[in-house]
Structure 1
Amino acid sequence: MSSSLDPGRLAGRGLIVASLVSSGIGYAFTTSYHALEVAAPMQTVGALALCVLMLLTGRSPFRQYERPMWWLIGRLAVGNAAVAVLYPYAVSRLNLGTVAAVVVLGYLSVGSKRIWHLRATAWGFKHLCGRSLVLGGILMLNWPLQGEIVGLLCAFGSAWCVWNTVTVLGKMKDHGLADQGATLANLLAAPALFVPVFLLRGGDWVSPDLFFVAGLAGLLTLMLPVVLTNAALRRISELDVGVMQSLSTPVHAMVALAGAAMGRLPSDQRLTFFPEWVAILLIAGAAFGVSSLKEPSGGAVRVRAQPSGK
Protein backbone atom coordinates (compact mmCIF):
# COMPACT_ATOMS: atom_id res chain seq x y z
CA MET A 1 0.00 0.00 0.00
CA SER A 2 1.56 3.27 -1.12
CA SER A 3 1.86 6.28 1.12
CA SER A 4 0.21 9.58 0.29
CA LEU A 5 2.51 12.59 0.20
CA ASP A 6 0.08 15.17 -1.22
CA PRO A 7 0.45 18.70 0.17
CA GLY A 8 -3.05 18.70 1.70
CA ARG A 9 -2.33 15.72 3.94
CA LEU A 10 1.08 17.10 4.88
CA ALA A 11 -0.59 20.38 5.84
CA GLY A 12 -3.19 18.52 7.90
CA ARG A 13 -0.53 16.73 9.92
CA GLY A 14 1.35 19.99 10.38
CA LEU A 15 -1.80 21.62 11.75
CA ILE A 16 -2.17 18.85 14.35
CA VAL A 17 1.46 19.26 15.46
CA ALA A 18 0.89 23.03 15.73
CA SER A 19 -2.20 22.45 17.89
CA LEU A 20 -0.22 20.12 20.19
CA VAL A 21 2.57 22.69 20.57
CA SER A 22 -0.02 25.37 21.37
CA SER A 23 -1.73 23.25 24.02
CA GLY A 24 1.62 22.21 25.51
CA ILE A 25 2.65 25.85 25.94
CA GLY A 26 -0.77 26.69 27.37
CA TYR A 27 -0.62 23.94 29.98
CA ALA A 28 2.91 25.03 30.88
CA PHE A 29 1.52 28.38 32.05
CA THR A 30 -0.65 26.60 34.64
CA THR A 31 1.99 24.33 36.22
CA SER A 32 2.14 26.39 39.44
CA TYR A 33 -1.64 26.20 39.97
CA HIS A 34 -3.90 23.40 41.08
CA ALA A 35 -5.18 21.69 37.95
CA LEU A 36 -8.83 21.65 39.03
CA GLU A 37 -8.78 25.36 39.84
CA VAL A 38 -7.71 26.43 36.37
CA ALA A 39 -10.05 24.07 34.51
CA ALA A 40 -13.20 26.22 34.66
CA PRO A 41 -11.66 29.61 33.76
CA MET A 42 -9.55 27.99 31.03
CA GLN A 43 -12.66 26.48 29.47
CA THR A 44 -14.66 29.68 29.85
CA VAL A 45 -12.13 32.08 28.29
CA GLY A 46 -11.19 29.63 25.54
CA ALA A 47 -14.82 28.98 24.64
CA LEU A 48 -15.73 32.69 24.63
CA ALA A 49 -12.72 33.56 22.48
CA LEU A 50 -13.63 30.78 20.05
CA CYS A 51 -17.19 32.09 19.92
CA VAL A 52 -16.01 35.63 19.13
CA LEU A 53 -13.75 34.29 16.37
CA MET A 54 -16.61 32.32 14.83
CA LEU A 55 -18.92 35.36 14.91
CA LEU A 56 -16.29 37.59 13.30
CA THR A 57 -15.73 35.06 10.51
CA GLY A 58 -19.41 34.54 9.74
CA ARG A 59 -19.70 31.07 11.32
CA SER A 60 -22.13 31.83 14.12
CA PRO A 61 -22.73 28.88 16.47
CA PHE A 62 -26.15 30.31 17.33
CA ARG A 63 -28.21 28.86 14.54
CA GLN A 64 -30.85 26.24 13.92
CA TYR A 65 -29.48 22.69 14.12
CA GLU A 66 -31.11 19.43 13.21
CA ARG A 67 -31.51 16.72 15.84
CA PRO A 68 -28.36 14.72 14.86
CA MET A 69 -26.22 17.84 15.33
CA TRP A 70 -27.77 18.57 18.73
CA TRP A 71 -26.88 15.04 19.80
CA LEU A 72 -23.27 15.58 18.71
CA ILE A 73 -23.09 18.98 20.41
CA GLY A 74 -24.37 17.55 23.70
CA ARG A 75 -22.02 14.59 23.47
CA LEU A 76 -19.02 16.84 22.84
CA ALA A 77 -20.00 19.22 25.67
CA VAL A 78 -20.26 16.37 28.18
CA GLY A 79 -16.94 14.87 27.06
CA ASN A 80 -15.07 18.17 27.18
CA ALA A 81 -16.42 19.03 30.63
CA ALA A 82 -15.62 15.55 31.93
CA VAL A 83 -12.01 15.45 30.72
CA ALA A 84 -11.31 18.87 32.27
CA VAL A 85 -12.02 17.30 35.69
CA LEU A 86 -11.04 13.65 35.16
CA TYR A 87 -7.58 14.31 33.68
CA PRO A 88 -6.17 16.49 36.49
CA TYR A 89 -7.80 14.27 39.12
CA ALA A 90 -6.17 11.20 37.54
CA VAL A 91 -2.79 12.95 37.54
CA SER A 92 -3.19 13.79 41.22
CA ARG A 93 -3.87 10.12 42.07
CA LEU A 94 -1.28 8.57 39.70
CA ASN A 95 1.46 10.43 37.85
CA LEU A 96 1.51 12.41 34.62
CA GLY A 97 3.34 9.69 32.66
CA THR A 98 0.86 6.96 33.56
CA VAL A 99 -2.14 9.12 32.72
CA ALA A 100 -0.58 10.23 29.41
CA ALA A 101 0.04 6.60 28.43
CA VAL A 102 -3.57 5.62 29.17
CA VAL A 103 -5.05 8.65 27.40
CA VAL A 104 -3.14 7.83 24.22
CA LEU A 105 -5.29 4.68 24.02
CA GLY A 106 -8.19 7.02 23.29
CA TYR A 107 -6.43 8.69 20.37
CA LEU A 108 -5.29 5.36 18.96
CA SER A 109 -8.84 3.98 19.18
CA VAL A 110 -10.25 6.55 16.74
CA GLY A 111 -11.51 4.59 13.75
CA SER A 112 -10.52 1.27 15.35
CA LYS A 113 -13.71 -0.45 14.15
CA ARG A 114 -12.90 0.32 10.51
CA ILE A 115 -9.23 -0.60 10.93
CA TRP A 116 -10.13 -3.95 12.48
CA HIS A 117 -12.67 -4.60 9.74
CA LEU A 118 -9.91 -4.05 7.15
CA ARG A 119 -7.20 -5.88 9.10
CA ALA A 120 -6.74 -8.37 6.26
CA THR A 121 -5.73 -5.58 3.87
CA ALA A 122 -2.24 -4.11 3.69
CA TRP A 123 -3.67 -0.78 4.87
CA GLY A 124 -5.32 -2.31 7.93
CA PHE A 125 -2.28 -4.42 8.81
CA LYS A 126 0.05 -1.41 8.58
CA HIS A 127 -2.32 0.63 10.74
CA LEU A 128 -2.38 -2.05 13.44
CA CYS A 129 1.43 -2.40 13.40
CA GLY A 130 2.03 1.35 13.37
CA ARG A 131 -0.38 2.02 16.22
CA SER A 132 1.25 -0.76 18.24
CA LEU A 133 4.62 0.94 17.73
CA VAL A 134 3.17 4.27 18.87
CA LEU A 135 1.77 2.65 22.01
CA GLY A 136 5.11 0.91 22.65
CA GLY A 137 6.92 4.23 22.38
CA ILE A 138 4.46 5.87 24.77
CA LEU A 139 4.99 3.11 27.33
CA MET A 140 8.78 3.39 26.90
CA LEU A 141 8.61 7.17 27.40
CA ASN A 142 6.44 6.91 30.52
CA TRP A 143 7.79 3.77 32.20
CA PRO A 144 7.41 2.74 35.00
CA LEU A 145 3.64 3.00 35.17
CA GLN A 146 2.09 3.46 38.59
CA GLY A 147 -1.51 3.49 39.62
CA GLU A 148 -4.47 2.70 41.80
CA ILE A 149 -8.01 1.86 40.81
CA VAL A 150 -9.72 5.28 41.16
CA GLY A 151 -6.94 7.09 39.35
CA LEU A 152 -6.88 4.49 36.58
CA LEU A 153 -10.64 4.74 36.13
CA CYS A 154 -10.32 8.51 35.74
CA ALA A 155 -7.47 8.03 33.26
CA PHE A 156 -9.54 5.59 31.18
CA GLY A 157 -12.42 8.06 31.38
CA SER A 158 -10.10 10.72 29.96
CA ALA A 159 -9.11 8.33 27.17
CA TRP A 160 -12.78 7.93 26.25
CA CYS A 161 -13.17 11.72 26.28
CA VAL A 162 -10.34 12.36 23.81
CA TRP A 163 -11.63 9.56 21.56
CA ASN A 164 -15.05 11.17 21.78
CA THR A 165 -13.69 14.61 20.83
CA VAL A 166 -11.94 13.50 17.65
CA THR A 167 -14.79 11.18 16.65
CA VAL A 168 -17.50 13.78 17.18
CA LEU A 169 -15.57 16.50 15.36
CA GLY A 170 -15.25 14.11 12.42
CA LYS A 171 -19.02 13.56 12.39
CA MET A 172 -19.67 17.30 12.70
CA LYS A 173 -17.40 17.82 9.70
CA ASP A 174 -19.66 15.51 7.69
CA HIS A 175 -22.53 17.93 8.45
CA GLY A 176 -20.34 20.90 7.43
CA LEU A 177 -20.71 22.41 10.92
CA ALA A 178 -17.57 21.37 12.80
CA ASP A 179 -16.56 24.91 13.79
CA GLN A 180 -20.05 25.99 14.84
CA GLY A 181 -20.84 22.75 16.69
CA ALA A 182 -17.53 22.67 18.54
CA THR A 183 -17.94 26.29 19.59
CA LEU A 184 -21.42 25.78 21.02
CA ALA A 185 -20.36 22.55 22.77
CA ASN A 186 -17.46 24.28 24.50
CA LEU A 187 -19.69 27.16 25.55
CA LEU A 188 -22.11 24.68 27.14
CA ALA A 189 -19.28 22.86 28.90
CA ALA A 190 -17.89 25.98 30.58
CA PRO A 191 -20.60 26.67 33.22
CA ALA A 192 -20.91 22.96 34.00
CA LEU A 193 -17.28 22.93 35.15
CA PHE A 194 -17.70 25.50 37.91
CA VAL A 195 -20.05 23.26 39.93
CA PRO A 196 -17.63 20.33 40.56
CA VAL A 197 -14.67 22.70 41.03
CA PHE A 198 -16.50 24.67 43.74
CA LEU A 199 -17.66 21.42 45.35
CA LEU A 200 -14.14 19.95 45.41
CA ARG A 201 -12.06 23.09 46.04
CA GLY A 202 -14.41 25.58 47.65
CA GLY A 203 -14.22 29.27 46.69
CA ASP A 204 -10.89 30.41 48.13
CA TRP A 205 -9.07 29.66 44.87
CA VAL A 206 -10.77 32.49 42.92
CA SER A 207 -8.35 35.34 42.18
CA PRO A 208 -7.66 37.83 39.34
CA ASP A 209 -4.17 36.39 38.88
CA LEU A 210 -5.52 32.87 38.42
CA PHE A 211 -8.13 34.01 35.92
CA PHE A 212 -5.53 35.94 33.91
CA VAL A 213 -3.19 32.95 33.65
CA ALA A 214 -6.04 30.49 33.08
CA GLY A 215 -7.52 32.77 30.45
CA LEU A 216 -4.23 32.94 28.54
CA ALA A 217 -3.93 29.16 28.80
CA GLY A 218 -7.52 28.80 27.54
CA LEU A 219 -6.63 30.59 24.32
CA LEU A 220 -3.72 28.21 23.74
CA THR A 221 -5.29 24.97 24.96
CA LEU A 222 -8.83 25.35 23.60
CA MET A 223 -9.40 28.11 21.05
CA LEU A 224 -6.34 27.53 18.85
CA PRO A 225 -6.41 23.69 19.05
CA VAL A 226 -10.09 23.58 18.06
CA VAL A 227 -9.49 25.86 15.06
CA LEU A 228 -6.37 23.95 14.01
CA THR A 229 -7.92 20.50 14.53
CA ASN A 230 -11.01 21.37 12.50
CA ALA A 231 -8.77 22.76 9.76
CA ALA A 232 -6.80 19.49 9.83
CA LEU A 233 -10.00 17.43 9.60
CA ARG A 234 -10.79 19.18 6.32
CA ARG A 235 -7.54 17.78 4.93
CA ILE A 236 -7.10 14.39 6.59
CA SER A 237 -9.44 11.80 8.11
CA GLU A 238 -10.26 11.50 11.81
CA LEU A 239 -8.20 8.28 11.84
CA ASP A 240 -5.12 10.26 10.85
CA VAL A 241 -5.98 13.06 13.28
CA GLY A 242 -6.29 10.52 16.10
CA VAL A 243 -2.92 8.90 15.49
CA MET A 244 -1.24 12.31 15.08
CA GLN A 245 -2.76 13.42 18.40
CA SER A 246 -0.79 10.60 20.06
CA LEU A 247 2.24 12.86 19.56
CA SER A 248 0.92 14.93 22.48
CA THR A 249 3.13 13.15 25.01
CA PRO A 250 6.48 13.71 23.22
CA VAL A 251 5.49 17.23 22.12
CA HIS A 252 4.58 18.21 25.68
CA ALA A 253 7.81 16.61 26.92
CA MET A 254 9.84 18.77 24.54
CA VAL A 255 7.86 21.87 25.52
CA ALA A 256 8.73 21.08 29.14
CA LEU A 257 12.39 20.66 28.19
CA ALA A 258 12.42 24.01 26.38
CA GLY A 259 10.68 25.66 29.33
CA ALA A 260 13.26 24.26 31.72
CA ALA A 261 16.11 25.48 29.49
CA MET A 262 14.63 29.00 29.57
CA GLY A 263 14.13 28.83 33.34
CA ARG A 264 10.34 28.94 33.05
CA LEU A 265 9.69 25.42 34.32
CA PRO A 266 11.28 23.22 37.02
CA SER A 267 14.90 22.51 36.15
CA ASP A 268 14.56 18.72 36.58
CA GLN A 269 13.04 18.41 33.09
CA ARG A 270 15.52 16.13 31.28
CA LEU A 271 15.42 13.79 28.28
CA THR A 272 18.11 11.13 27.97
CA PHE A 273 18.99 9.42 24.69
CA PHE A 274 17.61 6.13 25.95
CA PRO A 275 14.82 5.62 26.51
CA GLU A 276 13.30 9.12 26.11
CA TRP A 277 14.69 10.29 22.76
CA VAL A 278 14.51 6.81 21.27
CA ALA A 279 10.85 6.62 22.34
CA ILE A 280 10.09 10.05 20.87
CA LEU A 281 11.65 9.10 17.53
CA LEU A 282 9.70 5.82 17.53
CA ILE A 283 6.39 7.56 18.29
CA ALA A 284 6.96 10.31 15.73
CA GLY A 285 8.11 7.94 12.99
CA ALA A 286 5.22 5.52 13.50
CA ALA A 287 2.60 8.31 13.78
CA PHE A 288 3.76 10.08 10.62
CA GLY A 289 4.07 6.76 8.79
CA VAL A 290 0.58 5.57 9.70
CA SER A 291 -1.03 8.94 8.94
CA SER A 292 0.59 8.83 5.46
CA LEU A 293 -1.10 5.58 4.46
CA LYS A 294 -3.57 5.91 1.62
CA GLU A 295 -6.85 4.23 2.48
CA PRO A 296 -7.91 1.61 -0.09
CA SER A 297 -10.92 2.27 -2.27
CA GLY A 298 -14.11 0.26 -1.82
CA GLY A 299 -13.34 -1.91 -4.83
CA ALA A 300 -9.82 -2.65 -3.62
CA VAL A 301 -11.18 -3.63 -0.22
CA ARG A 302 -13.63 -6.11 -1.75
CA VAL A 303 -10.91 -7.69 -3.85
CA ARG A 304 -8.53 -8.09 -0.94
CA ALA A 305 -11.27 -9.38 1.35
CA GLN A 306 -12.14 -12.31 -0.93
CA PRO A 307 -10.84 -15.62 0.45
CA SER A 308 -8.35 -17.49 -1.68
CA GLY A 309 -9.79 -19.61 -4.48
CA LYS A 310 -12.84 -17.39 -5.06
Structure 2
Amino acid sequence: MQLKQGIKELDETLTSTEFSRADKLRSVLKKYVEIIEKTSYLMQPDVYTLINKEAMVINQALLGNRRAIAQLFVNLMEATLQQELEAHHRWQGLVDTWKALKKQALVQSFSEFMASERIRAPPDVKKEIESMLKNQKALQQKRLEHLCTICDLLPPNYSKAQLTEWHSSLNSLNKHLDAYHMGCVMQIRLQYEKTWQECLARVQECKKQLLDWKAFTEEEAESLVSPYFFQMVGVLQSKVEEELELLDKSFEDLAKQTECQSSDLLNYFQEAVRLWEAHQSTLSEQELELEKRMEQQRQKHILEEQVWLLAPRGAPAGNEERATPRLSMPR
Protein backbone atom coordinates (compact mmCIF):
# COMPACT_ATOMS: atom_id res chain seq x y z
CA MET A 1 0.00 0.00 0.00
CA GLN A 2 2.84 2.40 0.85
CA LEU A 3 4.60 1.47 -2.38
CA LYS A 4 1.50 2.30 -4.40
CA GLN A 5 1.19 5.61 -2.59
CA GLY A 6 4.85 6.37 -3.38
CA ILE A 7 4.27 5.58 -7.06
CA LYS A 8 1.26 7.89 -7.15
CA GLU A 9 3.24 10.66 -5.47
CA LEU A 10 6.09 10.16 -7.97
CA ASP A 11 3.62 10.33 -10.86
CA GLU A 12 2.08 13.50 -9.46
CA THR A 13 5.54 15.04 -8.94
CA LEU A 14 6.68 14.23 -12.49
CA THR A 15 3.41 15.49 -13.96
CA SER A 16 3.67 18.68 -11.94
CA THR A 17 7.27 19.10 -13.09
CA GLU A 18 6.23 18.71 -16.72
CA PHE A 19 3.49 21.30 -16.35
CA SER A 20 5.96 23.62 -14.66
CA ARG A 21 8.45 23.07 -17.49
CA ALA A 22 5.73 23.79 -20.05
CA ASP A 23 4.88 27.04 -18.30
CA LYS A 24 8.55 28.05 -18.25
CA LEU A 25 8.95 27.15 -21.93
CA ARG A 26 5.87 29.20 -22.74
CA SER A 27 7.39 32.17 -20.92
CA VAL A 28 10.70 31.69 -22.74
CA LEU A 29 8.97 31.55 -26.13
CA LYS A 30 7.02 34.72 -25.37
CA LYS A 31 10.21 36.43 -24.27
CA TYR A 32 12.07 35.50 -27.43
CA VAL A 33 9.11 36.47 -29.61
CA GLU A 34 9.31 39.95 -28.17
CA ILE A 35 13.10 40.06 -28.62
CA ILE A 36 12.92 38.92 -32.24
CA GLU A 37 10.14 41.37 -32.99
CA LYS A 38 12.19 44.20 -31.52
CA THR A 39 15.23 43.34 -33.60
CA SER A 40 13.04 43.47 -36.73
CA TYR A 41 15.28 40.92 -38.39
CA LEU A 42 12.26 38.92 -39.56
CA MET A 43 8.83 39.89 -40.49
CA GLN A 44 6.21 39.31 -37.82
CA PRO A 45 4.52 36.41 -39.71
CA ASP A 46 7.89 34.76 -40.15
CA VAL A 47 8.57 35.21 -36.45
CA TYR A 48 5.31 33.50 -35.53
CA THR A 49 5.97 30.74 -38.02
CA LEU A 50 9.41 30.15 -36.53
CA ILE A 51 8.09 30.21 -32.99
CA ASN A 52 5.22 27.86 -33.91
CA LYS A 53 7.68 25.38 -35.36
CA GLU A 54 9.77 25.52 -32.20
CA ALA A 55 6.64 25.29 -30.06
CA MET A 56 5.51 22.23 -32.02
CA VAL A 57 8.83 20.52 -31.42
CA ILE A 58 8.68 21.41 -27.74
CA ASN A 59 5.06 20.17 -27.50
CA GLN A 60 6.04 16.86 -29.07
CA ALA A 61 8.85 16.56 -26.56
CA LEU A 62 6.46 17.41 -23.72
CA LEU A 63 3.92 14.88 -24.99
CA GLY A 64 6.69 12.28 -25.20
CA ASN A 65 7.66 13.06 -21.64
CA ARG A 66 4.05 12.72 -20.51
CA ARG A 67 3.73 9.40 -22.32
CA ALA A 68 6.96 8.26 -20.71
CA ILE A 69 5.68 9.35 -17.29
CA ALA A 70 2.39 7.52 -17.89
CA GLN A 71 4.24 4.42 -19.09
CA LEU A 72 6.54 4.63 -16.08
CA PHE A 73 3.48 4.82 -13.80
CA VAL A 74 1.91 1.82 -15.53
CA ASN A 75 5.14 -0.19 -15.39
CA LEU A 76 5.68 0.62 -11.73
CA MET A 77 2.07 -0.25 -10.87
CA GLU A 78 2.26 -3.51 -12.82
CA ALA A 79 5.51 -4.44 -11.11
CA THR A 80 4.01 -3.55 -7.75
CA LEU A 81 0.87 -5.57 -8.44
CA GLN A 82 2.97 -8.51 -9.59
CA GLN A 83 5.03 -8.32 -6.41
CA GLU A 84 1.87 -8.08 -4.34
CA LEU A 85 0.39 -11.04 -6.20
CA GLU A 86 3.51 -13.14 -5.64
CA ALA A 87 3.63 -12.04 -2.01
CA HIS A 88 -0.06 -12.91 -1.67
CA HIS A 89 0.57 -16.34 -3.17
CA ARG A 90 3.46 -16.93 -0.79
CA TRP A 91 1.37 -15.67 2.10
CA GLN A 92 -1.58 -17.83 1.03
CA GLY A 93 0.71 -20.84 0.80
CA LEU A 94 2.02 -20.17 4.29
CA VAL A 95 -1.52 -19.67 5.56
CA ASP A 96 -2.63 -22.94 3.95
CA THR A 97 0.33 -24.74 5.50
CA TRP A 98 -0.43 -23.18 8.89
CA LYS A 99 -4.10 -24.11 8.58
CA ALA A 100 -3.18 -27.67 7.62
CA LEU A 101 -0.88 -27.94 10.65
CA LYS A 102 -3.58 -26.51 12.91
CA LYS A 103 -6.15 -28.92 11.49
CA GLN A 104 -3.78 -31.84 11.96
CA ALA A 105 -3.00 -30.80 15.53
CA LEU A 106 -6.70 -30.36 16.30
CA VAL A 107 -7.60 -33.72 14.76
CA GLN A 108 -4.76 -35.39 16.68
CA SER A 109 -5.92 -33.77 19.91
CA PHE A 110 -9.52 -34.88 19.36
CA SER A 111 -8.40 -38.40 18.39
CA GLU A 112 -6.40 -38.67 21.61
CA PHE A 113 -9.41 -37.37 23.52
CA MET A 114 -11.67 -40.00 21.94
CA ALA A 115 -9.08 -42.74 22.56
CA SER A 116 -8.59 -41.79 26.20
CA GLU A 117 -9.61 -44.18 28.97
CA ARG A 118 -12.06 -41.60 30.31
CA ILE A 119 -14.08 -41.81 27.08
CA ARG A 120 -13.56 -45.46 26.17
CA ALA A 121 -14.32 -46.67 29.70
CA PRO A 122 -15.89 -43.82 31.69
CA PRO A 123 -15.23 -43.99 35.46
CA ASP A 124 -18.94 -43.61 36.24
CA VAL A 125 -19.71 -46.59 34.00
CA LYS A 126 -17.00 -48.63 35.75
CA LYS A 127 -18.49 -47.75 39.13
CA GLU A 128 -21.96 -48.69 37.90
CA ILE A 129 -20.73 -52.06 36.61
CA GLU A 130 -18.80 -52.78 39.81
CA SER A 131 -21.86 -51.92 41.88
CA MET A 132 -24.02 -54.11 39.61
CA LEU A 133 -21.69 -57.10 39.99
CA LYS A 134 -21.57 -56.67 43.77
CA ASN A 135 -25.33 -56.41 44.17
CA GLN A 136 -25.86 -59.15 41.60
CA LYS A 137 -23.68 -61.49 43.64
CA ALA A 138 -25.66 -60.65 46.79
CA LEU A 139 -29.00 -61.25 45.05
CA GLN A 140 -27.77 -64.52 43.57
CA GLN A 141 -26.55 -65.64 46.99
CA LYS A 142 -29.95 -64.80 48.44
CA ARG A 143 -31.65 -66.80 45.70
CA LEU A 144 -29.25 -69.71 46.25
CA GLU A 145 -30.08 -69.74 49.95
CA HIS A 146 -33.76 -69.79 49.07
CA LEU A 147 -33.16 -72.68 46.65
CA CYS A 148 -31.47 -74.62 49.45
CA THR A 149 -34.60 -74.32 51.59
CA ILE A 150 -36.30 -76.79 49.23
CA CYS A 151 -34.56 -79.50 51.24
CA ASP A 152 -36.83 -78.66 54.17
CA LEU A 153 -39.87 -79.34 51.98
CA LEU A 154 -38.88 -82.83 50.89
CA PRO A 155 -41.24 -85.67 51.85
CA PRO A 156 -42.46 -86.49 54.34
CA ASN A 157 -42.10 -82.89 55.68
CA TYR A 158 -43.93 -81.09 52.92
CA SER A 159 -47.21 -79.57 51.89
CA LYS A 160 -48.50 -78.30 48.59
CA ALA A 161 -49.14 -74.87 50.08
CA GLN A 162 -45.53 -74.61 51.27
CA LEU A 163 -44.22 -75.74 47.89
CA THR A 164 -46.41 -73.19 46.10
CA GLU A 165 -45.26 -70.46 48.46
CA TRP A 166 -41.64 -71.48 47.94
CA HIS A 167 -42.04 -71.29 44.15
CA SER A 168 -43.79 -67.92 44.42
CA SER A 169 -40.90 -66.57 46.50
CA LEU A 170 -38.42 -67.94 43.96
CA ASN A 171 -40.27 -66.21 41.11
CA SER A 172 -40.28 -62.99 43.10
CA LEU A 173 -36.50 -63.22 43.59
CA ASN A 174 -36.02 -63.95 39.88
CA LYS A 175 -38.16 -60.97 38.87
CA HIS A 176 -36.35 -58.74 41.33
CA LEU A 177 -32.99 -59.80 39.88
CA ASP A 178 -34.24 -59.29 36.32
CA ALA A 179 -35.62 -55.84 37.17
CA TYR A 180 -32.29 -54.98 38.79
CA HIS A 181 -30.46 -56.02 35.61
CA MET A 182 -32.73 -53.86 33.45
CA GLY A 183 -32.25 -50.92 35.81
CA CYS A 184 -28.47 -51.34 35.68
CA VAL A 185 -28.50 -51.35 31.88
CA MET A 186 -30.56 -48.16 31.95
CA GLN A 187 -28.12 -46.52 34.38
CA ILE A 188 -25.17 -47.54 32.20
CA ARG A 189 -26.93 -46.02 29.19
CA LEU A 190 -27.45 -42.78 31.11
CA GLN A 191 -23.78 -42.67 32.09
CA TYR A 192 -22.73 -43.22 28.48
CA GLU A 193 -25.19 -40.52 27.41
CA LYS A 194 -23.28 -38.08 29.63
CA THR A 195 -20.10 -39.18 27.87
CA TRP A 196 -21.67 -38.52 24.43
CA GLN A 197 -22.71 -35.06 25.58
CA GLU A 198 -19.14 -34.43 26.71
CA CYS A 199 -17.86 -35.55 23.29
CA LEU A 200 -20.30 -33.25 21.48
CA ALA A 201 -19.27 -30.37 23.73
CA ARG A 202 -15.63 -31.08 22.85
CA VAL A 203 -16.56 -31.00 19.14
CA GLN A 204 -18.11 -27.56 19.58
CA GLU A 205 -15.00 -26.41 21.45
CA CYS A 206 -12.83 -27.52 18.53
CA LYS A 207 -15.08 -25.67 16.09
CA LYS A 208 -14.94 -22.54 18.23
CA GLN A 209 -11.15 -22.84 18.37
CA LEU A 210 -11.00 -22.88 14.57
CA LEU A 211 -13.15 -19.76 14.36
CA ASP A 212 -11.17 -17.99 17.09
CA TRP A 213 -8.00 -18.31 15.01
CA LYS A 214 -9.65 -15.98 12.44
CA ALA A 215 -8.21 -18.06 9.62
CA PHE A 216 -11.11 -20.46 9.06
CA THR A 217 -14.54 -19.61 7.78
CA GLU A 218 -17.72 -21.05 9.22
CA GLU A 219 -17.98 -23.41 6.25
CA GLU A 220 -14.38 -24.62 6.62
CA ALA A 221 -14.83 -25.25 10.33
CA GLU A 222 -18.10 -27.09 9.71
CA SER A 223 -16.57 -29.15 6.89
CA LEU A 224 -13.86 -30.39 9.27
CA VAL A 225 -16.08 -30.96 12.31
CA SER A 226 -19.18 -32.49 10.76
CA PRO A 227 -17.81 -35.37 8.68
CA TYR A 228 -14.78 -36.35 10.76
CA PHE A 229 -15.35 -35.51 14.41
CA PHE A 230 -19.00 -36.55 14.42
CA GLN A 231 -18.02 -39.74 12.60
CA MET A 232 -15.53 -40.63 15.35
CA VAL A 233 -18.17 -40.02 18.01
CA GLY A 234 -20.71 -42.02 16.00
CA VAL A 235 -18.38 -45.01 15.59
CA LEU A 236 -17.69 -45.21 19.32
CA GLN A 237 -21.36 -44.68 20.12
CA SER A 238 -22.40 -47.47 17.73
CA LYS A 239 -19.86 -49.83 19.30
CA VAL A 240 -21.11 -49.07 22.81
CA GLU A 241 -24.74 -49.43 21.70
CA GLU A 242 -23.96 -52.86 20.26
CA GLU A 243 -22.34 -53.91 23.55
CA LEU A 244 -25.31 -52.61 25.55
CA GLU A 245 -27.76 -54.36 23.22
CA LEU A 246 -25.79 -57.58 23.66
CA LEU A 247 -25.82 -57.11 27.45
CA ASP A 248 -29.55 -56.39 27.41
CA LYS A 249 -30.18 -59.44 25.23
CA SER A 250 -28.04 -61.59 27.55
CA PHE A 251 -30.06 -60.46 30.57
CA GLU A 252 -33.31 -61.22 28.73
CA ASP A 253 -32.06 -64.69 27.78
CA LEU A 254 -30.90 -65.23 31.36
CA ALA A 255 -34.33 -64.23 32.69
CA LYS A 256 -36.06 -66.64 30.29
CA GLN A 257 -33.63 -69.43 31.14
CA THR A 258 -34.09 -68.83 34.87
CA GLU A 259 -37.86 -68.87 34.48
CA CYS A 260 -37.72 -72.16 32.58
CA GLN A 261 -35.35 -73.68 35.13
CA SER A 262 -37.59 -72.57 37.99
CA SER A 263 -40.61 -74.11 36.28
CA ASP A 264 -38.66 -77.31 35.59
CA LEU A 265 -37.52 -77.43 39.22
CA LEU A 266 -41.09 -76.99 40.45
CA ASN A 267 -42.32 -79.67 38.06
CA TYR A 268 -39.54 -81.99 39.23
CA PHE A 269 -40.45 -81.59 42.89
CA GLN A 270 -44.16 -81.84 42.14
CA GLU A 271 -43.50 -85.07 40.27
CA ALA A 272 -41.33 -86.27 43.15
CA VAL A 273 -44.17 -85.48 45.56
CA ARG A 274 -46.63 -87.32 43.34
CA LEU A 275 -44.33 -90.34 43.23
CA TRP A 276 -43.93 -90.18 47.01
CA GLU A 277 -47.66 -90.01 47.50
CA ALA A 278 -48.19 -92.89 45.05
CA HIS A 279 -45.58 -95.02 46.84
CA GLN A 280 -47.01 -93.99 50.19
CA SER A 281 -50.48 -95.03 49.05
CA THR A 282 -49.16 -98.36 47.73
CA LEU A 283 -47.26 -99.02 50.94
CA SER A 284 -50.36 -98.19 52.98
CA GLU A 285 -52.42 -100.65 50.95
CA GLN A 286 -49.74 -103.33 51.31
CA GLU A 287 -49.55 -102.66 55.04
CA LEU A 288 -53.30 -103.04 55.39
CA GLU A 289 -53.19 -106.24 53.35
CA LEU A 290 -50.36 -107.56 55.51
CA GLU A 291 -52.22 -106.76 58.69
CA LYS A 292 -55.32 -108.46 57.29
CA ARG A 293 -53.42 -111.64 56.38
CA MET A 294 -51.62 -111.64 59.71
CA GLU A 295 -54.99 -111.39 61.45
CA GLN A 296 -56.27 -114.30 59.37
CA GLN A 297 -53.24 -116.41 60.28
CA ARG A 298 -53.62 -115.50 63.93
CA GLN A 299 -57.26 -116.57 63.90
CA LYS A 300 -56.32 -119.81 62.16
CA HIS A 301 -53.61 -120.48 64.68
CA ILE A 302 -56.01 -119.90 67.55
CA LEU A 303 -58.50 -122.35 66.07
CA GLU A 304 -55.84 -124.99 65.60
CA GLU A 305 -54.70 -124.55 69.19
CA GLN A 306 -58.23 -124.97 70.42
CA VAL A 307 -58.69 -128.15 68.33
CA TRP A 308 -55.49 -129.62 69.72
CA LEU A 309 -56.49 -128.84 73.28
CA LEU A 310 -59.87 -130.52 72.82
CA ALA A 311 -58.45 -133.70 71.25
CA PRO A 312 -58.45 -137.06 73.44
CA ARG A 313 -55.28 -137.44 75.54
CA GLY A 314 -55.04 -141.28 75.29
CA ALA A 315 -54.44 -141.41 71.64
CA PRO A 316 -50.94 -142.48 70.66
CA ALA A 317 -48.72 -139.62 69.98
CA GLY A 318 -47.32 -141.23 66.90
CA ASN A 319 -50.71 -141.93 65.32
CA GLU A 320 -51.85 -138.36 65.34
CA GLU A 321 -50.17 -135.55 63.77
CA ARG A 322 -50.25 -132.41 65.71
CA ALA A 323 -51.06 -129.50 63.52
CA THR A 324 -48.30 -127.01 63.76
CA PRO A 325 -49.40 -123.61 62.62
CA ARG A 326 -47.12 -121.89 60.18
CA LEU A 327 -47.04 -118.17 59.62
CA SER A 328 -46.04 -117.21 56.13
CA MET A 329 -45.25 -113.65 55.21
CA PRO A 330 -47.02 -112.29 52.18
CA ARG A 331 -44.84 -111.71 49.22
TM-score (normalised: structure 1) = 0.22
> RCO higher in 1 or 2 (8 Å CA, sep ≥ 6)?
1
Higher Rg? 2
TM-score (normalised: structure 2) = 0.21
**Which structure dedicates a bigger proportion of its chain to helix?**
2
